[in-house]
Amino acid sequence: MSELRFPENFVWGAATAAYQIEGATQEDGRGPSIWDTFSRTPGKVFQGHTGDVACDHYHRYADDVAMMAELGLRTYRFSVAWPRIQPDGTGPVNPRGLDFYDRLVDTLLGRGIDPFVTLYHWDLPQTLQDRGGWTSRETAEHFADYAVAVLGRLGDRVRTWTTLNEPWCSAYLGYGNGVHAPGERDAGAAFRAVHHLLLGHGLATRALRAAGVATLGLTLNPADVQPADADSEADAAAVRLVDGLHNRIFLDPLTGAGYPEDVLEHVARHVEPTFLRDGDEKIIAAPIDLLGVNYYSPAYVAGRSGGAGGSAYPGTEGVVEFLPPVGPLTEMGWMIEPAGLTRLLERIGADYPGLPLMITENGGAFPDKAGAEDPDGTGRVADTDRVAYLDGHLRAVHRAIARGVDVRGYLVWSLLDNFEWAEGYRKRFGIVHVDYLTQRRTPKESARWYREVISRNGL
């Protein structure tokens, strides 16, 4: 009787993102994105890897969907590449770009898999970046137009729509510490980007709702922020600061409370907040039906100077020390701590009640080998470390549900090994191995294990 069952109708699936898997970056009228530019900038991505070919999913999508069906997936979360739909980010839509997602959606439905759309997973059209990108208010307005264009083609078949994936990354890694595209390093730009991303979400949400979308939301990567020392007042202050810049800066305005005062004060020390206009908070607070939660690892902070990390949060240098990860780590160097996911879900459930949650990403990178990279191999990828990671985190989700948190589903990151942004192809998150020399797919042991979990609706 040690079995754990998930609620009836619990959603099970896997997630990917356009630039990480599609390839075909020059095909069918796609315009360049900031990741095409960034990955070609020397020193930005591991060994100069790019998404030019990636998993060649653009051409292999039908086989990939057939494989998803074999793996028993019920839902597939993918992102639409804005530069395929509007090569310059504005103006007339490119029908051939929409055709791809049209075919993908039909193929998914034909296999009984529910399509779950992310409208923006970081591949901003380069032309919009040339005009300021997310530091510019116009990008938010253009995003709403783009959202409506995609809805116009897919809205008759796709039920679940999310606007942004992890605006924290877009703003802080893209404009704050320069680890992601477009690679800017400017605290003020990062905060402007936060606001315009949220505004873009709000404007798109309003437009999609007006057009009749039933299930609408966005995905954040909220952080479980813990003090190094639970009895230290300085550490508690550090938690409050990081929680403000990571969690409350998004969740408070999204749920109608506006930006928190302490966060606004912090922002105002870096940039004159002239970009905040009357009425913006009301737009951002457009009701949502679903909050996607991506969780990988907790953060431990101390209220003192020191340590190497921390620079991703503008204005925390010398004030907050991010503790180096300890204990079991994934290949990314991230701490494995499933309890952090339970804490995070309980916290969101308590502080933002009434918001249905879904785990839209969770998973780990581990050094898996197969195919041509593993000539002596058995043809199986025994990724027991990934199975343990996923098992532990599913138990953590179950615990949160048992304690009353409204969690509607779980999507593993990722279906396929793929282009892991600044890490290129060297980090593998897939439950399916991809041999980049041959594009051969090999389901790992974790994929077989996951199929069992889904079919039993439990562990």
Which among 222, 245, 198 has a CA at the least distance from the CA of 291?
A: 222
- Contact status: 297 vs ligand GBH (CB under 6 A): yes
Task: Extract the tokens encoding 329.
Answer: 């780590």
Which is nearer to ligand GBH, 45 or 207 (by Cβ)?
45
* Pick from 428, 316, 314, 424: nearest CA to 363: 428
> Of 38 and 429, which CB lies nearer to ligand GBH in the complex structure?
429
Which DSSP category does 414 fall into? -
**For the chain, how long is the longest CA-to-CA vector?**
64
As a whole number of angstroms, the distance between CA 90 and CA 93 comes to 8
**Amino acid symbol at 398:** H
The terminus-to-terminus CA distance of the chain in angstroms comes to 11
233 flagged as catalytic: no
Q: Give the number of residues in contact with ligand GBH, rule: CB under 6 A.
A: 14
- Tell me which stretch binds ligand GBH (CB under 6 A): 38-46, 163-171, 195-203, 268-276: 163-171
For ligand GBH, which is the closer residue by CB, 342 or 414? 414
Residue span binding ligand GBH (CB under 6 A) among the ranges 54-62, 225-233, 294-302, 437-445: 294-302
DSSP class of residue 43? T
333: left (phi over 0), alpha (psi -120 to 50) or beta: left
**420 annotated to a ligand binding site:** yes
- Distance between CA atoms of residues 37 and 98, nearest Å: 23
Instruction: Provide, rounded to whole angstroms, the least separation between the CB of residue 439 and ligand GBH.
Output: 19
Among 64, 166, 337, 417, binds ligand GBH (CB under 6 A): 166
Min dist CB 277 to ligand GBH, Å, is 29
Residue 82 near residue 133, CB atoms below 8 Å? no
Question: Is residue 39 close enough to count as binding ligand GBH by CB under 6 A?
Answer: no
Distance CA 295, CA 140 (A): 26
Helix (H) or strand (E) holding 168: helix 167-168
**Could you say which DSSP state residue 162 is in?**
E
Residue 181: name the closest of 49, 33, 30 by CA. Answer: 33
Q: Does residue number 296 form part of the binding site for ligand GBH (CB under 6 A)? A: yes
Both structure tokens of 325: 């990860």
Does 17 help bind ligand GBH (rule: CB under 6 A)?
yes
Nearest distance in Å: CB 122, ligand GBH = 7
Candidate segments 46-54, 91-99, 162-170, 345-353, binder of ligand GBH by CB under 6 A: 162-170
134 carries a ligand binding annotation = no
Q: Say whether 361 is catalytic.
A: yes
- What's the min distance (Å) between Cβ of 425 and ligand GBH? 12
Rounded CA separation 88/361 (Å) = 29
Instruction: Give per-residue burial for 250-265: e unless 16+ CB within 10 Å, then b.
Output: bbbbbbeeebbeebee
From the list 22, 166, 321, 337, the catalytic residue is: 166
> Identity (one letter) of the amino acid at 395?
R
Residue 105 or 336: the one with the smaller Cβ distance to ligand GBH is 336
Site for ligand GBH in 265-284 (CB under 6 A): none
165 is in an annotated binding site: yes
DSSP H or E stretch at residue 402: helix 384-402
* Residues within window 409-438 making contact with ligand GBH, judged by CB under 6 A: 413, 420, 429
Nearest to 434 by CA among 38, 44, 78, 20: 20
* Closest C-alpha to 114, from 73, 79, 148, 147: 73
When the beta carbons of 207 and 394 are compared against ligand GBH, the nearer one is 394
Residue 334 is labelled as binding a ligand: no
313 binds ligand GBH (CB under 6 A): no
Among 281, 361, 368, 385, binds ligand GBH (CB under 6 A): 361
- Beta carbon of residue 97, minimum distance to ligand GBH (angstroms, whole number): 21
Question: Among 94, 126, 160, 221, which residue sits at the site for ligand GBH (rule: CB under 6 A)?
Answer: 221
Catalytic residue, chosen from 70, 141, 361, 373, is 361
296 is in an annotated binding site: yes
Q: Which of 90, 334, 392, 445 binds ligand GBH (CB under 6 A)?
A: 334
What's the CA gap between 155 and 151, in Å, rounded? 5
281 Cα distance to chain centroid:
23
Residues 63-102 that bind ligand GBH (CB under 6 A): none
- Among the listed ranges 191-199, 249-257, 292-300, 378-386, the one in contact with ligand GBH (CB under 6 A) is 292-300
Cα 180 to Cα 119, 206, 330, distances in angstroms: 18, 29, 20
Fill in the per-residue mask, 129 to 148: x = in contact with ligand GBH (CB under 6 A), - = not in contact. Answer: --------------------
C-beta of 46 vs 334, nearer to ligand GBH: 334
Annotated binding-site members for substrate = 20, 121, 165, 296, 413, 420-421
Residues lying near ligand GBH in the complex (CB under 6 A) are found at 17, 20, 165-166, 169, 221, 294, 296-297, 334, 361, 413, 420, 429
> Which residues are marked as active site?
166, 361
| Binding-site sequence positions | 20, 121, 165, 296, 413, 420-421
